[in-house]
Structure 1
Amino acid sequence: MNIYINGTGCVSPLETAVEGRLPSAAPLYDNIRLKAAEPDYKQWIDIKMIRRMSRVIKMGVAAAQLSLREAGIQKPEGIITGTAYGCLDDTGVFLTKMINQQEEMLTPTAFIQSTHNTVAGQIALLLECHAYNNTFVHKGFSFEHTLIDSIMQLREGKISNILAGAMDELTNHSFNILSRFNLFKHTAAGEGAACFVLSTEKGPNAVAKLKGVSVLYKPGSYEEVAADIVGFLAAYNCSQEDIDLVITGRNGDPAGDAWYEHVENNVFPSLPVARFKHLCGEYPTASAFGTWMAGRIIASQEVTPAVLFKGNAPSAIKKVLLYNHHDASHHSMILLSIC
């Protein structure tokens, strides 16, 4: 069964929500915290509701609406999202009030809106979608498990399309806390939301095919990752030579990038390599942005200098492998192909 990506939407530190394409040159950021370039939400959300929504909810709704519009669908037959942190802004508001007011006279609104499934629920309310609705909170695997569940739902044959996506935000509190662990010593912190309309039928604006997804938790060695990637490709009747472009989650951290270096040199020694985290920053569901980027590359058949890391851009791009890891413990592979 073929699964098509019929629509995509992305809110990121780039102007992806407005332009919907990759930049020709990498932007020059002046700090290590990359904030999302948020669009005008009034085109999708009533102005009275915008004031009550946190940033991550608005980003998720915008990404969902962009993907549905591109796919030409008003209401999906299911909604699945992934997030590692949930609605951190509302969580911070509730905890701050709890401390300042000594746990007395607390309003429940911020607590209710701080739950991880708030984004998926809000999208469903706006679309009046009463179908299957699920949220995965699996750290660096949150987006990958969203895709896996979406594939399972579509292969059951009960539905023909589904809205899948992932989103995470970075707040002042979370940035300060994570910075204490030196997580952003060599890389930039990021945030964003990306959504995809997946379907068993090819739409008029289909971007790519989603061939497969695989995850590997805490591998013991570089060789284990390399062997897992080879096995993953073989499971989909694909070899290393069939891949036209490899996209990795390089973020500038020497220890983390060593995993990518081994795969590039030993599994795909002659293939061009692209990267994406210098555009969106590092966060647990950054692979959603990487998947959006991979889809755009396949659809446009162009690898811009902004994302090409090594090698020469291929003249034809039929299969793209996205290899990413978060904190060297959550490793994932996502395989896309041309429609």
Structure 2
Amino acid sequence: MLATPVYIEKTAASFERTEEGFRLKEPDYKLLIPNATHRRRMSRMVRMGVATGLQCLGEPAVPADAILTATGLGCLADTEKFMNTILDCDEELLTPTAFIQSTFNTIGAQIALLTGNHGYNNTYVHRAFSLESALIDGALLLQEKDASSVLVGAVDEMTPTLRTILDRFGSRKKPEPGEGAAFFLLAARSSRESLAELRNIELFSGRFTPEEISERMEVFLIRNDVAEAQVVFPDEYKQYCGEYPTAMSFALWNACTGRQEVSQVVLLYNSFQDQHSFILIKKV
């Protein structure tokens, strides 16, 4: 729960639907990460997350007071690469690069290095609650006046190995597995650049019927003094981004940018493996 609203000033995202499924839409990295050495050392997910975060900050990039990143599964490709190297080398003569790049906080750290940011930097890895936890932390920093601007982002990737695992467990169903990256710049006060007011967030776990979810939504809206809101359900936005732990980031980006027409007040709902969340925003 948020004590007072905060505002989404800017946002950037990378999503694409292809014949092969949902993929990250990769930009021209040379424009965003000029240093070729840095680019070569970054994995695909790290490059994508860093590039999206820099796009959100704008050009020239103005460092935020804090950087918060979120991911459900982390840098899977680098983790797989490191584990395969352990097996291939019999646990000897291992290069640490793949391990360093596989850690969950790599994206936030790289953005901080490239923008000269020495402020608060944290990464949330709470499955489907990762983005929401980062947004709550960012809102608290703003409300307690520990920051005037906070960069919050979420990134998850799909790999061939993960697709194979999902197939074996029978977990690949509609919506199809996906991946994505989205960042949001939060501020304590509204401005002419504000896209939306982030009014509240609620997290809850368990198995619920559609009727029970509807009742919780009604109570949530009443508690926030909202008489009417457009509800955006998972099936409505995951058909464009696919299923992954931080798919709520696509829903939030989509609602803020107006890529899909929404009403003035929007209640975003996400459900992933018995983890449920509401995000209430008001367009400004």
User: In the aligned structure 2, how far is the partner of 1:8 from the partner of 1:120?
Assistant: 16
The structure 2 residue matched to 1:249, chosen from 213, 234, 238, is 234
Q: Which residue of 2 aligns with 1:333?
A: 278
SS in 2 for 1:113: helix
Give matches, 1:6-85, under 5 Å.
6-13=9-16, 29-31=18-20, 33-45=21-33, 46-69=35-58, 74-85=62-73
User: In the aligned structure 1, how far is the partner of 2:118 from the partner of 2:57?
Assistant: 16
The structure 2 residue matched to 1:94, chosen from 82, 93, 97, is 82
Q: Which residue of 2 aligns with 1:109?
A: 97
Letter in 2 for 1:211: R
User: In the aligned structure 2, how far is the partner of 1:221 from the partner of 1:279?
Assistant: 25
4+ aligned runs moved over 6 Å, structure 1: none
Greater Cα shift, 181-190 or 2-11: 181-190
Letter in 1 for 2:246: T
Residue 160 (1) aligns with residue 155 (2): no
Following superposition, the deviation at residue 220 of structure 1 comes to: 4.2
Residue 323 (1) aligns with residue 269 (2): yes
Q: Which residue of 1 aligns with 2:246?
A: 285
Greater Cα shift, 218-227 or 230-239: 218-227
User: In the aligned structure 1, how far is the partner of 2:27 from the partner of 2:103?
Assistant: 24
The structure 2 residue matched to 1:4, chosen from 2, 7, 30, is 7
- Calculate the TM-score normalised by the size of structure 1: 0.79
Do 1:9 and 1:62's aligned partners in 2 also have CA atoms closer than 8 Å?
no
Following superposition, the deviation at residue 73 of structure 1 comes to: 5.8
User: In the aligned structure 1, how far is the partner of 2:253 from the partner of 2:165?
Assistant: 29
Q: Which residue of 1 aligns with 2:168?
A: 180
Q: Report 1 or 2 for greater relative contact order, CA contacts < 8 Å, sequence distance ≥ 6.
A: 2
Do 1:80 and 1:120's aligned partners in 2 also have CA atoms closer than 8 Å?
yes
Segments of structure 2 that go 5 or more residues without pairing to the other structure are none
User: In the aligned structure 2, how far is the partner of 1:236 from the partner of 1:246?
Assistant: 15
The count of corresponding residues between Structure 1 and Structure 2 is 280
Do 1:8 and 1:194's aligned partners in 2 also have CA atoms closer than 8 Å?
yes
Do 1:64 and 1:195's aligned partners in 2 also have CA atoms closer than 8 Å?
yes
Cα deviation digits, residues 257-298 of structure 1 (max 9, x gap): xxxxxxxxxxxxxxxxxx11111111000100110001112x
User: In the aligned structure 2, how far is the partner of 1:216 from the partner of 1:226?
Assistant: 14
Do 1:148 and 1:213's aligned partners in 2 also have CA atoms closer than 8 Å?
yes
Do 1:11 and 1:38's aligned partners in 2 also have CA atoms closer than 8 Å?
yes
Letter in 1 for 2:38: M
Following superposition, the deviation at residue 224 of structure 1 comes to: 3.2
Q: 1:220 to 1:338 in 2, by over 3 A?
A: closer
SS in 1 for 2:62: coil
Q: Which residue of 2 aligns with 1:268?
A: none
Letter in 1 for 2:174: H
SS in 2 for 1:166: strand
Following superposition, the deviation at residue 226 of structure 1 comes to: 2.3
Please tell me the root mean square deviation across aligned C-alpha atoms, in Å: 1.7
Do 1:219 and 1:225's aligned partners in 2 also have CA atoms closer than 8 Å?
no
User: In the aligned structure 2, how far is the partner of 1:186 from the partner of 1:101?
Assistant: 39
SS in 1 for 2:23: coil
Do 2:82 and 2:98's aligned partners in 1 also have CA atoms closer than 8 Å?
yes
Do 1:13 and 1:191's aligned partners in 2 also have CA atoms closer than 8 Å?
no
SS in 2 for 1:276: helix
Percent of matched pairs sharing the same residue: 39
Segments of structure 1 that go 5 or more residues without pairing to the other structure are 15-28, 251-274, 304-313
Cα deviation digits, residues 151-175 of structure 1 (max 9, x gap): 1111111211100011001111122
If each structure's strand is expressed as a fraction of its own residues, which one has the higher value? 2
User: In the aligned structure 1, how far is the partner of 2:208 from the partner of 2:194?
Assistant: 38
